[in-house]
A and B are shown apart, each in its own frame.
Chain A
Amino acid sequence: MKKGLTLLILCLVSAALFANGGNDSTEMDEGGKTITILCVTSPETEALKVAAEEFKKQNPGYDVIFNEQGRLGYFTNVTTQLVGGTDEFDLIQDNTTYMTELAAAGVLEPWDDYLNDPALTDLKVYDLDDLPVKLTYEGKIYCIPTDLSSQVYYYRKDLIDKPAETWDDLIANAKANTGTEETPYGAVVTAMTGGPEAPKIFYTVLWSYGGDVIDENGDVVINSEAARKAASVYRALKPYMPEDVTTYNYPKVFDAMKAGSVAQTGPFWNAAWNNLQKSDSEFKDKYSLALIPGVRQADGTIYRTPQTHGWGLMMNAQSKNKIAAWKFLYFATSVEGFNIRGANGGSIFRPSILGAPENAGNPYFPVMAETYSLARMEPLVPYYTKMHEILNQMVADILTTDKSLDDIFGRAEKDLNALKSRY
């Protein structure tokens, strides 16, 4: 009995040591050739699947499995699985804004070693300079998005002769087109709080006045004159927007466009353009798009700062198939990968493709090329989602209360500092 027990313990200890040793040795091992991706059901994923088929054709023996889940609870699931140390997935599709939290938790594999290994990456072909957005944390790249989303300005070209260039133009156009026979609303923005949309739109206005929420030193700078100016734009637009504007999220603003009931919307997501063109709306040809409005500078130029974020594939630090996973990441974000995904519903943001002569006829491409050249990302801080809670409250207060802007931004500053002190 005792002998048996000793033998069992020895076996278990050996197995544990073997397993541990195995983990260490797989750091840059070839690993398997089956790549498993945890992803969300979306048009971007469908485009990625088409790219995966081409990848498999070009790399015989490799397989790409998509473990697709619904959007509800997806982000929580991603975080929980990764922090829990799963090795079930090699790549994780996630919103780029969550990258920092995951990188800070040490559950993502940085890309630098793979990018700098000539055996794995041909940097000349890959052309990092043609990828304007690289997500870094503590100096290391953790993700290059597969899809980007930014904001443009949509307007009814049959009603508005001159698209708004500044926020003042936007307000003036809104005033002229509210309560008319054609459009009950002169403008609308996505202001539904509780999610990420309202803060992202507010950033765009705030940045254009030279303000920010967190500066490059990590200090909270929301309580500023620029923030008060941005909030004043919101309050000036309020009479020309739907009274229940705080219930307007992307689908609801898009529905208003489809119904032709809004004269202009912006900043609003670029995805709406393709969605509108594909829709059966009788107003789809009545809308046009342009760069988002901004603030006129002393030299007459307009300072525009569209916010951008995206979807990307991130590598699980616990993956057992890192080399294979990198091969697919490399392919999916290459020029070829972008072209395949772009033709199948994915979003293109490589300037070389957006500016290609064959795309010049479509108004979307030049606007997006310029938008991405101006675009900024939100501060990639580890407390990103918690920060949104405070920013949402701030936007809600601006739009739904008569509180003074000093009070609103003073409170936001206090809350942000309290939050920041925890990290």
Chain B
Amino acid sequence: METNLIKKRQLVKYYLILPAAVLLIGTTVIPILYMLYTSLFRLDPVVFNGKWPFIGLGNYLYLIKNDPMFWTSLARTLKFLLYTVTPQIAVGLFLATLMYREFKGKRLVQTILLFPILATPIIVAMIWKYFFDFDTGFLNLMLKNIGLQPQPWLSTKGLPLVDAIPVLGPWLVNKFSLTYAFRTICFVNFWQWTPFCFLVLYSGMTSLPSEVYEASSIDGASAWQTFRYVTLPLLSKLIIAVVFIRVIDSLKVYAQIWVLFGNAETTRVINIHLYTLGFTTSDYGMASALGVIIILLIAAFVGVTIKLGGKGNAQ
């Protein structure tokens, strides 16, 4: 009797998580499994004749071998990741270090710094789109007013300093996406999400134990040495967490690029290609296959980041 009661009590925890588990499975696990299933079929309205033909890995092979946008958009996504996450973390850390000191008006600066993350990405991109317009944009009007040439911020032209390098310039522009358009995309993302990195890192800094700073001060460590050998190691776990969040977020980037350039081939990243396959060309099987690839890609990045985090902890 008592054993039954204990068993029942033990089951309670499972009953309590059941609603959340059902919701999670229903909205995440089942759709992913279904996506995996549909990626093995030719889900293309043109060949629909009452049933969808099973083609095994055909969609995956076509994407890898024949889809001209697959590798291009994948490479662009990885460049986007590199060009946005790296400066976001670096500048976020720099701002956090600055804000760690006391100065007059600190609260006001902190509040202003947080404005960008409060805005919706779509609205942010729309505002910047107007700012960057060649003929009527605010930036070019300012440049004209101070006697400088307006710049084609939204064009796919190579950045002048790079493009002007003899022979190597166009190659660099092409290989590293050093165009105005891509810089604009990266800038908008940087502008919106650097404050997030700052916020998390600053919160981390404020919670660090003051004793270690007192000790380093007594030992005569310089500001740089304190940062390099005290702050940075203590923050490493948090930095990895921020990298982790930003990497996933950058791999998911969609709205900002969509607003700025739609699904133009010249600026298309992997998620916009996924949308195009699914909702422009109505090739649902191919879109499912790409969806699976994206999930695997994100999982790989997450795995690497966690592993790096683990190593950091061990050290």
Binding site for B on A (CB under 8 A): 73, 75-76, 79-80, 82-83, 101-102, 104-107, 184, 192-195, 242-247, 256, 259, 261, 382-383, 385-386, 389-390, 392-393, 396, 400-402, 411, 415, 418-419, 422-423
Contacts and interface: CB of A to CB of B under 8 A. Distances in A.
B268 A415 contact: no
Interface in B256-302: 261-266, 268, 276, 278-283
Contacts of A386: 281, 283
Contacts of B62: 418, 422
B280 A242 contact: no
Which 5 A-B residue pairs are closest in the complex by CB-CB distance?
A243-B152, A244-B155, A194-B264, A418-B66, A194-B263
Given A242-B135, A386-B283, A247 B66 contact: no
Given A105-B45, A392-B264, A393-B69, 9 more contacts: A83-B45, A101-B46, A102-B45, A194-B265, A242-B135, A244-B180, A247-B155, A396-B266, A400-B156
19 contacts: A79-B282, A83-B45, A184-B135, A242-B134, A246-B155, A246-B266, A247-B154, A383-B46, A386-B283, A389-B276, A392-B264, A396-B264, A396-B265, A400-B157, A401-B170, A411-B68, A415-B68, A419-B66, A423-B46
Contact of B281 (A102, A385, A401): A385
A192 B263 CA distance: 10
Interface residues of B, number: 35
Interface of B: 45-49, 62, 65-66, 68-69, 134-135, 152-157, 170, 174, 180, 261-266, 268, 276, 278-283
A79 B155 contact: no
A73 B262 contact: no
Contact of A396 (B49, B134, B156, B281): B156
B268 A194 contact: yes
Contact of A400 (B68, B266, B282): B266
B90 to A, nearest CB: 30
Given A244-B152, A247-B154, A193 B45 contact: no
Contacts of B174: 401
Contacts of A184: 135
B281 A261 contact: no
Contacts of A75: 280
Given A83-B45, A393-B68, A193 B154 contact: no
A79 B45 CA distance: 7
B9 to A, nearest CB: 39
Given A246-B155, A402-B170, A423-B46, A193 B266 contact: yes
B176 to A, nearest CB: 14
Contacts of B180: 244
B262 A389 contact: no
Contacts of A392: 264-265
Contacts of B47: 105, 423
A82 B276 CA distance: 20
Contacts of B283: 386
Interface centre among A104, A244, A392, A415 (most CB of B within 10 A): A244
Secondary structure of the A contact surface, majority rule: helix
B144 to A, nearest CB: 12
Contact of A192 (B48, B264, B279, B280): B264
B134 A243 contact: yes
Given A83-B45, A105-B48, A389-B281, A261 B265 contact: no
Contacts of B152: 242-244
A259 B136 CA distance: 11
Contacts of A396: 156, 264-266
Contact of B265 (A76, A82, A256, A393): A393
Contacts of A411: 68
Nearest to A418: B66
Contacts of B157: 243, 400
A254 B184 CA distance: 24
A104 B46 CA distance: 6
A347 to B, nearest CB: 25
B222 to A, nearest CB: 48
Contact of A106 (B49, B66, B68, B170): B49
A76 B279 contact: yes
B282 A385 contact: yes
A73 B279 contact: yes
Nearest to B267: A194
A119 to B, nearest CB: 32
A73 B154 CA distance: 25
B261 A194 contact: yes
A220 to B, nearest CB: 14
B133 to A, nearest CB: 8
Contacts of A390: 68
A415 B69 CA distance: 10
Contacts of A79: 45, 282
A389 B69 contact: yes
A296 to B, nearest CB: 33
A75 B280 CA distance: 8
B105 to A, nearest CB: 39
Contacts of B282: 76, 79-80, 101, 385
Nearest to A245: B155
Contacts of A243: 134, 152, 155, 157
